[in-house]
Amino acid sequence: MLIFVTESVSKMWPVVILVWLSAPFGLSCTPDLQFPSWFKFGASTSSYQIEGAWNVSDKAESKWDRLTHTIPETFKQATGDVACDSYRLWRRDIEMIEELGLQFYRFSISWPRLLPSGFPNIISEDGKRYYNNLIDGLLEKGIEPVVTIYHFEMPEIFQELGGWTNPLISDWYADYARVVFSLFGDRVKTWITINEPSIECDYFHTSEMPYNAGLEHGVASYMCNKYVLIAHAKAWRIYDTEFRHKYNGKVSFSNHLLWLYPSSPEYEELTEISREFISGRYCHAVYSKEGGWPPVVEENVAKFGRKIGYTRTRLPPFTKEEIELVRGTYDYFGLNYYTTRLVRPSYPGESVNPSVFFSVIDVDAVFDIDPDWRNGLNKLLPIHPIGLRQQMEWVQKHYGEMEFIISENGYSSTGSNLNDYERISFIKDHLEQVLMSINEGINVTKYSYWGLMDDFEWLDGYRSNFGLYEVDFSDVNRTRTPRKSAAYYSGVIRNRSLCYEPTHIDINTIEI
């Protein structure tokens, strides 16, 4: 099917839609493809990945400034020094968000930009102004700001003291969160305390990162796991006692969960243990009725530790007070979903993948990728849309009914690629699963695509592009151009249905 839309400058809208032929992608426009009126669509970014201005005004260094400047080879020679230059170009970002018709925009605050010393003794006037402008600019256009307080951007001074593995970090973080709530809480009603503790602790605590004293696997990652949960809980409690009565917002954190299937039915038990390691380790303490670590995780870490000569468990225990502090500190479940793995026991003598997130330690399990799954550029993230719904079902079965916000879900390509049909299918296939979840009675209220635009993609530098908008990183103006997926997503949003209708965004022809 062909849909023709006149070529135009993206800002000149509405542009005439010439032809609209029934439903795209073989979907017929039935009411079950309609999103409920309360459902909201958004897109996400994070400060280090887009802002640039790494040393402007009184901003201090973050761990990423230090890493990219000292070991550039690890990041494909890329830095976030300029990135998308959103510190300067935030007005254009808002324009894009408006063009897309997003109901909310998820962005993060840079801790070292707002608090240059890391502590609340100095609050940067420029940092404050930047985030106030962004929040007010969004609200003027009727767009809800959804704000992440921490998205991987540890102040370098704290990283040198161990970052998330230092028990004191939870208080330093909580003090920072209090400043953020007091400055912006009158206008921000949805908060994400910490982005993806599992990626922060398990994936970034790998040997490629030079800050773990060689203790990354099963030591530093578990310490980080505990203190990141305590930090989240302290921030939630601060909001609950000091701000909720005035501002009535919602606070939780965003978990990146890897959905797991048994590669054969006899591995169901091993798969469930692996789910407790991958997902339960970041959920049980907060969402379960009992709190603390999942019991099977405690047992396995102790058992495997004894086998290799440890006399003490490497999983830092929670005290009774800590269990109570962390338990129940949520207002919704924030889920970042990208991919799935198949679980099986390791073969004799087989070495287990050293990247902790995409395999586990302390469980004799190996995670495989089904060769039939489609891929974007990033081969760690093969596409398996049904995993999104099954992951939510698992969470709900284990921890009970609650509100779900999908705070990230995205597809990576590389190079200039405005005709990104694969991204369109990716979005459509995942939104279909969201609709099915809603129809099954799961209370999903928001979906946020990652990302609004191409950005600095951590270990991938600028090679991996997730954006609805393409960014020209060789241009001083960091020109942003909508991809066809932007047109598709905006059509879905305006129509509130997977029965896509083309909109004003500049596209020439969508061939489906």
Q: Which residues of the chain form contacts with ligand BGC (CB under 6 A)?
A: 46, 49, 195-196, 199, 256, 336, 408, 410, 450, 457, 466
322 is catalytic: no
Q: 51, 99, 156, 196: which one is catalytic?
A: 196
**Given the complex with ligand BGC, which of 50 and 424 has the nearer CB atom?**
50
Among 457, 439, 437, 455, CA closest to 447: 437
440 is catalytic: no
Q: Cβ distance 374 to 413 under 8 Å?
A: no
State how far the Cα of 297 lies from the Cα of 295, in Å rounded to an integer.
5
Among 419, 408, 415, CA closest to 486: 419
Instruction: Tell me the closest approach of the beta carbon of residue 355 to ligand BGC, in angstroms.
Output: 13
**Given the complex with ligand BGC, which of 288 and 414 has the nearer CB atom?**
414
**Given the complex with ligand BGC, which of 336 and 437 has the nearer CB atom?**
336
> In this structure, what token pair is assigned to residue 44?
């996400």
Among 257, 262, 271, CA closest to 396: 257
Instruction: Tell me the closest approach of the beta carbon of residue 281 to ligand BGC, in angstroms.
Output: 17
Determine whether 138 is exposed, middle or buried from the number of CB atoms within 10 Å of its CB (0-12, 13-18, 19+): buried
Instruction: Tell me the closest approach of the beta carbon of residue 303 to ligand BGC, in angstroms.
Output: 30
Q: How many helices (H) and strands (E) does the chain have?
A: 17, 15
**Given the complex with ligand BGC, which of 322 and 454 has the nearer CB atom?**
454
Residues ≥6 apart with Cβ < 8 Å to 309? none
> DSSP secondary structure string, 444-495?
EEEEEEE-SB----GGGTTS-B--SEEE-TTSTT--EEE-HHHHHHHHHHHH
State how far the Cα of 116 lies from the Cα of 158, in Å rounded to an integer.
12
**Given the complex with ligand BGC, which of 239 and 466 has the nearer CB atom?**
466
> In this structure, what token pair is assigned to residue 425?
């299918």
Instruction: Tell me the closest approach of the beta carbon of residue 46 to ligand BGC, in angstroms.
Output: 5
Q: Cβ distance 26 to 10 under 8 Å?
A: no
Instruction: Tell me the closest approach of the beta carbon of residue 351 to ligand BGC, in angstroms.
Output: 25
**Given the complex with ligand BGC, which of 156 and 196 has the nearer CB atom?**
196
> DSSP secondary structure string, 9-31?
-TTS-SPPB----S-STT----G
Instruction: Tell me the closest approach of the beta carbon of residue 502 to ligand BGC, in angstroms.
Output: 27
> In this structure, what token pair is assigned to residue 225?
């796991």
Q: 144, 156, 408, 422: which one is catalytic?
A: 408
Write out the catalytic residue numbers. 196, 408
